[in-house]
């Protein structure tokens, strides 16, 4: 596993380069940004590398990347020399924290990398697509990267996460099939230390002890990355053959029918039983980070995890400012404003769904700070906060304008939901532990909300934020805007959403009163995260983003993932807060205090079975040799294809168009292009439709590929080859199976046979 060691060295080097920048930026945080220095350093290097390659004055190459790294390192060294005494004093003072942060990083990197070595194959769900984009950012001659599955076009998707993983791949010198799996370990490592640091900072800002801050930070990491939802407890019952047909009918989780008998093992023997935990609510996807990392899709919502936490950290740092917000603040803190814009703007480029949510957090956090500074004068506070946030968000968009210029969204608006709402039982299965801790935090903190004359204005603010989504939904229903078919009763939906309205309203009210009363601190910031999280859960019960799926499936998927992250952070702080209040009041010895701890213990235990059993089942299903090479299964089961991939990687110039068979999405079709980053005429057609929102860019290509392989007319084939700029033609078992063998001989007349091992695959290089 030498590749993993080299990769970790590269990651640590990036973190050291980013440290002086983070140290100066995060001045108001107790850890001075140490826990965020690695994602921040990676973001800085990747952004500058993207801009340089985008200019097309230099090629996309490892040498270009090394030049960028050296340039950033030089600035970093200058900053270090200017502030070395301050930095050295911090290191001496906080050596325990620094060592612990590094241990968390290494443990999660090694742990998840070791797991990926047991299940390395890149072949299912969205993995081929993710691998295609990783190869595209590494092998495209320039940026924006070429679309591997649609020759002649650039990628129309948010690809900055792939680019950052590509940066680490190029720096460490590993192959992309290894870098893919190391990237998953990197996401876990960066997310773990960022979550730990964020909650540590919140507790320390409330004057909590080092031990309390560490425990709260570690609890947040566990909730974010190591625990599951409560569906796992049902899997245990199901595996043991417990529960009647009626019971499982009431549960209503697809695939969990009455068991035929107890499993001979402590884990289910069904193939991919662990998949069900992400499909608890019918017609939706409800992933959580542990599931995503176990599944192994290096997808934008997964890669964004560390950078969402980085964004929360930089917003918390701005929230802690004592300078008066407004134009003067922007003039006094231009570099902090620029960093806010860069970090928030990058979220849209990594996973577009995260940008508006973090923009809302920024607005709320700076709005509370302005309210605090204005002594409760909300109108004045709103004006000053709006000036700062509007400037930052505008700069965030401008910083990534080249991305928006090539991005085509399939989204066509937002519609009110008229179909069936989520069942309360299913919501409990998804949100049981985090929801209980979040609600407990809200309830307990109510006892410390100060009495202040601003309560009426705070109540009005809470009412607007919490009730506006419901009012808009009712108005849309009254106007007949909601799409028909399967409409659920209004009353039933309101019964479901009212508890969330109270939770959101209560959090907003408490945070606003604290701000107006001069009690603005980490508790109010945690309340903002809780309020946003509950809004994210409430939202898909009322509205959905209209896309090609024409359902709320993707909306639930993306918003729930954000809610899990926010609740993990808020609940980590909330656990410290509630435990402190119970301890302070001596209530942990009283019956209801003991009952609270008992409920937490039961929910945690119910969330621990799934991770252990799912890892056991995943590893058991893959009996291959431990390796980090994601194409090792291809070498084992399809050696002809593996050798063809290797030959193209070594010999085909960057950007060369390769012709291969076209077939269904979620299959082995498109594997050559995905594994090399070389564009093919057409890859996964359904995905191209999702990315581009229309079939116009690729209409007729499937038929043309079929014609190219089946025709025996060399002249006709030559016209099509020239139309698409095909440089290499792959003829292998998949092509013969899809198109027959009659038309394959003609390729010898179109060019030269450049690769043909003994097992029957051939690669032709088309003549100029």
SS3 annotation, 598-632: HHHHHHHHHHHHHHHHHHHHHHHHCCCCCCCCCCH
Contact, 507 vs 531, CB < 8 A?
yes
Q: Which residues contact 328 (CB under 8 A, 6 or more apart)?
A: none
Secondary structure (DSSP) of 474-537: HHHHHTT-S--SSPPPHHHHHHHHHHHHHHHHHHHHHHHHHHHTT--SHHHHHHHHHHHHHHHH
Q: Report pLDDT for 132.
A: 99
pLDDT at 453 over 80: no
Contact, 623 vs 632, CB < 8 A?
no
For the residues 410-418, what does the mean pLDDT come to? 86
Report pLDDT digits (tens) over 559-606: 999 999 999 999 999 999 998 887 665 555 677 778 899 999 999 999
List the chain domain ranges.
Answer: 1-226, 321-408, 423-611, 632-766
Distance spanning both ends of the chain, measured CA to CA? 43
Band of pLDDT at residue 484, cut at 50, 70 and 90: low
Band of pLDDT at residue 268, cut at 50, 70 and 90: confident
Across the strands, what pairs with 730?
763
Q: Report pLDDT for 506.
A: 95
Distances (CA, A) of 588 to 317, 578, 694: 33, 10, 60
Higher per-residue confidence, 734 vs 419? 734
Band of pLDDT at residue 518, cut at 50, 70 and 90: confident
> Which one, of 300, 319, 329, 417, lies nearest residue 366 by Cα?
319
Tokens of 448: 């410390």
Q: Which residues contact 682 (CB under 8 A, 6 or more apart)?
A: 149, 150, 662, 688, 698, 701, 702, 705
Q: Report pLDDT for 517.
A: 85
Higher per-residue confidence, 685 vs 490? 685
Q: Report pLDDT for 585.
A: 59
Higher per-residue confidence, 207 vs 595? 207
Report pLDDT digits (tens) over 138-192: 999 999 999 999 999 999 999 999 999 999 999 999 999 999 999 999 999 999 9
Q: Report pLDDT for 327.
A: 92
- Window from 2-6, 273-277, 363-367, 450-454 with minimum mean pLDDT: 450-454
Is the previous residue joined to 144 through a cis bond, with omega within 30 degrees of 0?
yes
């Amino acid at each position: 596993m030498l590749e993993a060691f080299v990769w970790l060295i590269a990651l640590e080097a990036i973190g050291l380069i980013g440290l002086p920048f983070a140290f100066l930026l995060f001045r108001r945080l107790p850890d001075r940004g140490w826990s965020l220095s690695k994602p921040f350093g990676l973001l800085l290097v990747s952004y500058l590398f993207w801009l340089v390659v985008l200019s097309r004055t230099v090629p996309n190459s490892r040498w270009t990347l090394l030049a960028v790294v050296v340039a950033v390192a030089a600035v970093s060294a200058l900053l270090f020399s200017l502030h070395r005494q301050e930095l050295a004093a911090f290191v001496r003072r906080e050596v325990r924290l620094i060592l612990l942060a590094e241990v968390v990083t290494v443990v999660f990197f090694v742990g998840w990398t070791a797991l990926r070595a047991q299940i390395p194959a890149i072949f299912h769900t969205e993995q081929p697509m993710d691998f295609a984009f990783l190869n595209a950012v590494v092998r495209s001659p320039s940026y924006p990267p070429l679309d591997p599955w649609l020759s002649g076009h650039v990628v129309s998707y948010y690809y900055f996460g792939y680019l950052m993983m590509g940066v680490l791949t190029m720096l460490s010198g590993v192959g992309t099939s290894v870098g893919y799996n190391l990237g998953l370990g990197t996401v876990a490592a960066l997310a773990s230390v960022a979550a730990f640091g964020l909650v540590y900072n919140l507790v320390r800002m409330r004057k909590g002890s080092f031990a309390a801050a560490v425990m709260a930070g570690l609890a947040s990491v566990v909730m974010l990355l190591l625990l599951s939802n409560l569906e796992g407890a049902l899997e245990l019952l199901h595996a043991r053959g417990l529960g009647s047909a009626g019971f499982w009918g009431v549960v209503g989780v697809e695939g969990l029918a009455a068991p035929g008998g107890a499993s001979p093992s402590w884990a289910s023997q069904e193939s991919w039983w662990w998949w069900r935990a992400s499909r608890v609510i019918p017609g939706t996807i409800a992933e959580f980070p542990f599931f995503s990392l176990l599944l192994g899709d290096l997808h934008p919502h997964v890669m964004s995890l560390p950078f969402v936490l980085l964004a929360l950290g930089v917003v918390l740092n701005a929230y802690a400012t004592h300078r008066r917000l407004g134009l003067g603040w922007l003039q006094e803190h231009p570099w902090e404003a620029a960093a806010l814009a860069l970090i928030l703007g990058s979220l849209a480029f990594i996973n577009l769904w995260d940008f508006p949510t973090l923009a809302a957090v920024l607005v709320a956090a700076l709005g509370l700070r302005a309210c605090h500074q204005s002594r409760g004068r909300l109108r004045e506070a709103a004006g000053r906060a709006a000036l700062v946030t509007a400037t930052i968000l505008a700069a965030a968009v401008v910083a990534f304008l080249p991305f928006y210029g090539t991005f085509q969204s399939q989204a066509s608006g937002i519609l009110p939901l008229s179909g069936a709402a989520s069942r309360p039982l299913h919501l409990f299965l998804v949100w049981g532990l985090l929801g209980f801790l979040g609600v407990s935090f809200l309830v307990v903190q109510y006892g410390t909300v100060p009495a202040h004359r601003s309560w009426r204005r705070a109540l009005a603010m809470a009412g607007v934020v919490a009730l506006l989504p419901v009012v808009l939904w009712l108005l849309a229903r009254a106007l007949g805007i909601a799409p028909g078919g399967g409409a659920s009763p209004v009353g039933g939906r309101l019964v479901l959403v009212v508890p969330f309205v109270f939770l959101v309203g209560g959090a907003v009210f408490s945070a606003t009163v604290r701000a107006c009363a001069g009690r603005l601190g980490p508790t109010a910031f945690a309340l903002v995260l809780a309020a946003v999280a509950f809004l994210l859960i409430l939202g898909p019960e009322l509205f959905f983003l209209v896309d090609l799926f024409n359902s709320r499936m993707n909306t639930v998927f993306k918003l729930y993932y954000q809610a899990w992250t926010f609740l993990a952070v808020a609940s980590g702080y909330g656990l410290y807060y509630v435990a402190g209040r119970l301890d302070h009041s001596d209530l942990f010895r009283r019956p209801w205090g003991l009952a609270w701890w008992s409920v937490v213990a039961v929910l945690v235990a119910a969330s621990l079975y799934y991770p252990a059993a799912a890892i056991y089942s995943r590893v058991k299903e893959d009996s291959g040799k431990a390796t980090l090479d994601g194409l090792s299964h291809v070498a084992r089961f399809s050696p002809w294809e593996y050798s063809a991939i290797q030959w193209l990687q070594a010999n085909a110039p960057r950007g060369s168009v390769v012709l291969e068979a076209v077939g269904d999405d979620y299959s082995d079709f498109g594997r050559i292009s995905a594994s090399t980053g070389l564009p093919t005429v057409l890859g996964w057609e359904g995905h191209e439709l999702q990315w581009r929102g229309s079939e116009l860019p690729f209409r007729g290509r499937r038929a043309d590929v079929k014609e190219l392989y089946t025709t025996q007319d060399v002249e006709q084939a030559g016209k099509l080859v020239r139309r698409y700029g095909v440089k290499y033609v792959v003829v292998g078992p998949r092509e013969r199976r899809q198109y027959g063998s009659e038309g394959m001989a003609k390729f010898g007349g179109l060019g030269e046979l450049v690769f043909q091992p003994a097992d029957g695959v051939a690669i032709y290089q088309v003549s100029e």
